[in-house]
Amino acid sequence: MSAVSALSDRLPAFPWDRLAPYKKTAAAHPDGIVDLSVGTPVDPVPELIRKALVDAADSPGYPTVWGTPELRDAITGWTERRLGARGITHHHVLPVVGSKELVAWLPTQLGLGPGDRVAFPRLAYPTYEVGARLAGAGYEAYDDPTDLDPAGLRLLWLNSPSNPTGRVLSGGELARIVAWARAHDVLVLSDECYLELGWEADPVSVLHPDVNGGSLDGVVAVHSLSKRSNLAGYRAAFLAGDPGVLGPLLEIRKHGGMMTSAPTQAAAVAALADDTHVREQRERYAARRALLREALLGHGFRIEHSEAGLYLWATRDESCWATVGRLADLGILVAPGDFYGPAGERFVRVALTATDERVAAAVRRLA
């Protein structure tokens, strides 16, 4: 067996391939497909961000893995202004090449392997499991992480607001989990990429002192500019938290050449410094969410959680694939809930990331 095939054997089947025939059915609708299956932004990149990218286009030299001082300033300033973090310095932050890359390779970069365990929510972004598999580590899903056996548990993923469910953990819940993890020497990685998209809840970061008790020991947050600034195509994200974790990661990523491009770094500085475009994008998503939510409820769906994030977690109390097929016949493509774990087998994830025109088309069809 080749090394490549041995590595690929560690991975699950790529789930989105199973959706292809349903996408074909939806695309055959006379008025075209309404694709609500993937949370990829469709709205324009704000002009001030594009200008910053263009102005930095003449960047013939290699960028630094740690990022420019301006980018580190922008990240520290944003975490204090938006998340209520305290005492964040340049040594508490680290740019990464999009958050998915980070999630997939973090267990390997932390040196995890056989005998180590990674834990993540019962309903979760599939890449948490992929990252553990790539490292050869064990993994398990949880309902409440404090019920886990801490023996061998090295990395605990939190995800609030959740993808796919939109569930938000309260500050009290986060504080309880962080305290438990510290008591058992378990590193907490909190995926907070949807934090600025709270609808019926106000999400809290693990960087807030009410959660971490004023110490960032054993705590790291993951943030992305993909959703809040429509920068999925730029691959701009960052870590913030324990410098005892980020320092060694920086050295490892230097050796691996994992550097965000210089123009993207400049664009990220502009994006993090401006809150106006984030409010405007929130308003777009809020309007689409209201229309889709009402249409789904009128069509016989029940919606659970979904108090934050870019998705509605919906069910008709039937197999998720039956629901996917039913909606595909209407020209609407959604993600089956079992992509995110067996507990989602009777739900579908409906993304808010379609244009106003396509959302209106979905609403008409559901009516």
Question: pLDDT value at position 17?
Answer: 83
More confident residue, 190 or 4: 190
Quickly state the pLDDT bin for 363 (edges 50, 70, 90). very high
CB 207 within 8 A of CB 232: no
Digit-coded pLDDT (tens) for 211-250: 999 999 999 999 999 999 999 999 999 999 999 999 999 9
Answer yes or no: is pLDDT of 3 > 70.
no
Mean pLDDT of the chain: 96
Quickly state the pLDDT bin for 1 (edges 50, 70, 90). low
Quickly state the pLDDT bin for 15 (edges 50, 70, 90). confident
Judge whether 3-44+277-366 and 50-273 match in fold. Answer: no
- Give domain 3-44+277-366's CATH number out of 3.40.1390.30, 3.40.50.800, 3.30.1490.20, 3.90.1150.10: 3.90.1150.10
Q: In percent, how much of the chain has pLDDT > 70?
A: 96
Question: pLDDT value at position 340?
Answer: 95
CB 344 within 8 A of CB 337: yes
Question: pLDDT value at position 185?
Answer: 98
Answer yes or no: is pLDDT of 7 > 60.
no
Answer yes or no: is pLDDT of 126 > 90.
yes
Cα 125 to Cα 143: distance, rounded to the nearest angstrom: 14
CB 270 within 8 A of CB 311: no
Digit-coded pLDDT (tens) for 311-340: 999 999 999 999 999 999 999 999 999 999
**Parallel/antiparallel/unpaired status of strands 117-121 and 138-142:** parallel
More confident residue, 7 or 224: 224
Answer yes or no: is pLDDT of 8 > 90.
no
Digit-coded pLDDT (tens) for 274-316: 999 999 999 999 999 999 999 999 999 999 999 999 999 999 9
Q: Which two tokens stand for residue 162?
A: 């959740």
206 sits in the region (left: phi over 0; alpha: psi -120 to 50; else beta) called alpha
Residue boundaries of the structural domains of the chain: 3-44+277-366, 50-273
Average pLDDT over residues 153-163: 98
Digit-coded pLDDT (tens) for 244-275: 999 999 999 999 999 999 999 999 999 999 99
Least confident of 13-22, 81-90, 241-250: 13-22
Question: pLDDT value at position 14?
Answer: 72
Average pLDDT over residues 349-359: 98
Q: Which overall architecture, per CATH, does domain 50-273 show?
A: 3-Layer(aba) Sandwich (3.40)
Buried b (16+ CB within 10 A) or exposed e, 34-51: bbbbebebeeebbeebee
Cα 179 to Cα 87: distance, rounded to the nearest angstrom: 20
Whole-angstrom distance between the N-terminal and C-terminal Cα of the chain? Answer: 54
Average pLDDT over residues 90-99: 97
